[in-house]
Structure 1
Amino acid sequence: MSIPPQQPGPQQPNPYQQNPYAQQPPGPVPPSPYAQPPAPGQPPAFPPPGVPLGAPPAAKRPVPSWVWGLGGALVASAVWAGVLFANGTLGGGDEADLAGYRFRKDLCDAVTIDAFKERYEPRLGSEPNSHYASKEQALDANNCNWSLKDKNASASDYSSVFVNSTAQWHKKSDPKGEFASIYKGFEDRSGDTYAYTTKSVGGIGDEAFLIVEKRSPTGSKTSPKEFGGMTLGVRDGWFTFELQWSWYGSSTSGGTKAPSEQEVEKMIKSDARDALAALKKS
């Protein structure tokens, strides 16, 4: 029996021989539910055949020269601001408020301690004992010290009194933020032989604090502490002033006694007010 010859099957198209860009015969286009007939005298809603849908991409517009100039100015400003911050001339704050107090080379000319002199006299025969002055870029400061004795003290009385005054003109930074902490912090120094108490004082400068010091006359932890020192600190603007009184002796030595806290507070406030007034007049 003879086998009929195989019929050639349909030839499969070679995908590499197809032209992907060849135009295919147009088929029926389904109607668009959104298409509307054009109004009389108006162009059709779709572009004519052969014109692609969508507007052609707009040509890239050149950036105006003034935009580049503005950007350069902003960069330069940022660099300059960084330099000013680094130098401390920008953001460094305000101009120094010295509240009218003027620097004196010799502080002893302004701090005359007349109230203390009613009770005390110079011990070393010179008045005042020592002083110094310093003028720097950020801070001007001067100081005056006295070594005194009670006018009623006998030749054998070894008790001593020291009065110290310091004035500071802060020219680069405002001391307001830390002033109170400095004087309140003295209480943290209290120990077995020393005790400090701090209180606020009104009516002098922008703020003022009074420190009372009590200490053991023998240095023993068991000895009762006696009043032996007082410090008045004043801040007025960026100017600070301090007046300190210290007494060294013993209430059991038979010599002169230390004045009461109330007496010293009255004297130290009076002399501080006089000194501040004199520094404003100088």
Structure 2
Amino acid sequence: MISDPELGEEWKTEALEPDRPGDRPAPGERAAGGPGPRPWLWALGGALVASAVWAGGLYAYGTAQPEIRYRESANLCQDFRATALSGITGDMHTKKPLNLQSDHPAVYAARCGLENAGKDGVATDFAVVAQVGLHKKTDPSAEFDAPDLRVLAYTGDARTVAVPDLGERAEMTVTSGERWLILKVLDGGVVFTLEAGATTFAETNGRPATDVDAVQAAMIEDMRALMAALRTD
């Protein structure tokens, strides 16, 4: 695995899958038999309802059974308050959240999807997805470094950095365009994932302009709060 710099150091851009001539259609073209271009927010929003795809990706493999130090979340949208992110985007709990659970013998998973609302109470330009995968049978560390296939499918490349002092291991991935961010944490037999992004970080829908560094800092703060809320020891 390529060793990534810690958050705060200069980021390195690493292609998760190199392009080959002819692999990708020209901008605006549609590959034969394949889907047309999809913005990342569509991918993130679609992930909120694609429960079959989500559940199908939750499998465990590894070595010894982990020592689990977190409880199952019966309603992740109650445990995940997104307080720091709401300070940037507006209250993320204004709109009805999407809450999902999956109790499998190998992995108990919970997922919460949140969207902000503009001054009209309708327009959405910022989405957040929190997910907790509690691995009951095997240690999830063996799969932690596996690349996110959605990043490969929708962006083709991304930059990933280690986040210090957060769980056993943590990493932040920022996709090309810096509008889709994924924070992933491994700790106590659990994989925590927090995704956030916007159609734009400029001022829009009554939301003030911000930058990607502020969003990352808010994600880390909200992740710490979620982990503390579920911690059992």
Q: Normalising TM by the smaller chain, what interval?
A: 0.5 to 0.7
Answer yes or no: is 1:111 the counterpart of 2:80.
yes
* Counterpart in the other structure of 2:189: 238
Give the TM-score normalised by the residue count of structure 2.
Answer: 0.63
Higher RCO, 1 or 2 (CA under 8 Å, sep at least 6)?
2
CA positional deviation for 1:96: 2.7
> Based on CA coordinates, which of the two structures has the bigger radius of gyration?
1
**Count of equivalent residues:** 172
Could you tell me whether the CA contact under 8 Å between 2:180 and 2:195 is conserved in 1? yes
Matched with 2:95 is 126
* Distance in 2 (alpha carbons) for counterparts of 1:134 and 1:154: 35
Change in CA separation of 1:112 and 1:254 when aligned onto 2, cut-off 3 Å: closer
Q: Conserved in 1, the CA contact under 8 Å of 2:173 and 2:182? A: yes
Q: Equivalents in 2 of 1:263, 1:245: separation in Å?
A: 12
Matched to 1:230, the amino acid is L
Conserved 8 A contact 1:157-1:255: no
CA distance in 2, matches of 1:118, 1:125: 13
CA distance in 2, matches of 1:279, 1:94: 22
Whether contact under 8 Å (1:190, 1:196) holds in the other structure is no
1:157 CA displacement: 9.9
Cα deviations across residues 22-68 of structure 1 (Å, max 9, x unaligned)?
A: xxxxxxxxxxxxxxxxxxxxxxxxxxxxxxxxxxxxxxxxxxxxxxx
Partner of residue 222 from structure 2, selected from 267, 271, 274 = 271
Cα root mean square deviation, aligned? 3.2
Please report the TM-score for the alignment, with normalisation by the length of structure 1.
0.53
**Paired residue type of 1:263:** A
State the SS of the aligned residue for 1:141.
strand
User: What is the percent sequence identity of the aligned residues?
Assistant: 22
Query: What residue ranges of structure 2 are gaps of 5+ in the alignment?
Result: 1-61
Structure 1 segment 183-194 matched on structure 2, within 5 A: 189=152
Task: Determine if the alignment matches structure 1 residue 182 to structure 2 residue 152.
Answer: no
What SS class does the counterpart of residue 144 from structure 2 fall into?
helix
Q: Equivalences for 1:185-224 in 2 at 5 Å?
A: 189=152, 195-214=157-176
Q: Does the C-alpha gap of structure 1 residues 108 and 157 become closer, same or farther in structure 2, counting only changes over 3 Å?
A: closer
The separation in 2 between residues aligned to 1:96 and 1:249, in whole angstroms, is 40
Corresponding position: 1:101 with 2:70: yes
CA distance in 2, matches of 1:157, 1:208: 34
CA distance in 2, matches of 1:194, 1:252: 27
Unaligned runs of 5+ in 1: 1-91, 215-225
Q: Secondary structure at the match of 2:182?
A: strand
Contact 2:70 2:188 in 1 (8 A): no
For the structure 1 residues 281 and 248, does the alpha-carbon distance in structure 2 shift closer, same or farther, using more than 3 Å as the test? Answer: same
The C-alpha deviation readout for 1:243-267, integer Å capped at 9, x for no partner, is: 1102114869898575211101110
